[in-house]
């Protein structure tokens, strides 16, 4: 059986949200607001929320700060994954990855294809793991955020999702560090 097993205990995780945009503010950031609302509705904790311009150094610095913070389990960014010159989120974030979660991009594109068809080709949605923190980079549209959260990320961040989920492996993410001392 796969899906949510309601008889199991839900374990909330702490999620930081980064919106990458040259034009959005807290007042008009619908993608970020949608993500925050869904995170809180699911029972997770919003650890932090920031809006940054499309600037590689700023994005990398902020994500680095979050992955160093033991109070952040997951980082989800929205925006900057397209193909234009200003789109630099994957370039900013992927050098931080210790492991790439290739399946996320594949599944996200399958889900996105159902919503936007071949336009999903213009997204470079990516995910990885750094310092025991999961990082998901979504496109900036509210529709892409809904698809990414509702149909992929939320299920893998639900400790009741079977046959497996990302929450149950969180205690084991830093195993390589224990052996290096």
- pLDDT of 18 strictly over 80: yes
Pairing type for strands 161-162 and 133-138 reads unpaired
Q: What integer is the mean pLDDT of 55-66?
A: 98
Alpha carbon distance 131, 114 (integer Å)? 33
Place of tokens 């195993």: 175
> Is 73 within the bounds of a domain?
yes
Neighbours of 71 (CB within 10 A): 10
Domain count across the chain: 1
Structure confidence at residue 1 (pLDDT): 65
Q: Which domain holds residue 46?
A: 11-168
Q: How confident is the model at residue 172 (pLDDT cuts 50, 70, 90)?
A: very high
88, HSE (Cβ side, Cα atoms, 13 Å): 14
The percent of residues above 70 in pLDDT, for the chain, comes to 97
Confidence band for 2, pLDDT divided at 50, 70 and 90: confident
CA gap 107, 105 in Å, rounded: 6
pTM (whole model) above 0.75: yes
Query: Average pLDDT, stretch 9-18?
Result: 97
Query: Is the CB of residue 127 less than 8 Å from the CB of residue 97?
Result: no
User: Torsions phi, psi of 90, nearest 5?
Assistant: -60, -40
Those residues whose C-beta lies under 8 Å from the C-beta of residue 153, and which sit 6 or more positions away, are: 76, 136
What integer pLDDT is reported at residue 180 of this predicted model? 53
Give a yes or no: residue 118 inside a domain.
yes
Look at residue 178 and tell me if it is in a domain.
no
The CATH number covering residue 86 comes to 3.40.980.10
pLDDT tens digit sequence for 102-114: 999 999 999 999 9
Residue 5 domain-assigned (yes or no)? no
In a domain, 141, yes or no: yes
Pairing of strands 74-78, 133-138: parallel
Q: SS3 letters for 77-99?
A: EECCCCCCCCCCHHHHHHHHCCE
Q: What is the DSSP string of 30-63?
A: HHHHHHHHHHHHHT-EEEEEEEE-S-HHHHHHHH
Read off the pLDDT of residues 74-106 as tens digits, 9 standing for 90 and up. 999 999 999 999 999 999 999 999 999 999 999
4 part of a folded domain: no
In a domain, 1, yes or no: no
Residue 3 lies in a domain: no
């Amino acid at each position: 059986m796969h899906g949510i097993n309601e008889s199991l205990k839900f374990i909330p995780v702490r999620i930081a949200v980064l919106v990458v945009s040259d034009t959005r503010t807290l007042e008009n950031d619908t993608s970020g607001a949608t993500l925050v609302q869904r995170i809180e509705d699911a029972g997770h904790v919003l650890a932090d929320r920031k809006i940054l311009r499309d600037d590689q150094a700023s994005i990398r610095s902020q994500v680095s700060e979050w992955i160093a913070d033991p109070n952040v389990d997951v980082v989800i960014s929205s925006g900057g994954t397209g193909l234009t010159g200003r789109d630099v989120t994957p370039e900013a974030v992927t050098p931080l990855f210790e492991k790439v979660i290739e399946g996320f991009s594949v599944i996200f594109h399958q889900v996105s294809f159902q919503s936007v068809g071949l336009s999903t080709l213009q997204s470079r949605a990516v995910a990885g793991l750094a310092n025991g923190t999961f990082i998901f980079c979504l496109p900036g549209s509210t529709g892409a955020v809904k698809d990414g959260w509702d149909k992929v990320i939320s299920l893998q961040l639900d400790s009741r999702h079977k046959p497996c989920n990302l929450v149950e492996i969180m205690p084991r993410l830093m195993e390589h560090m224990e052996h290096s001392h």
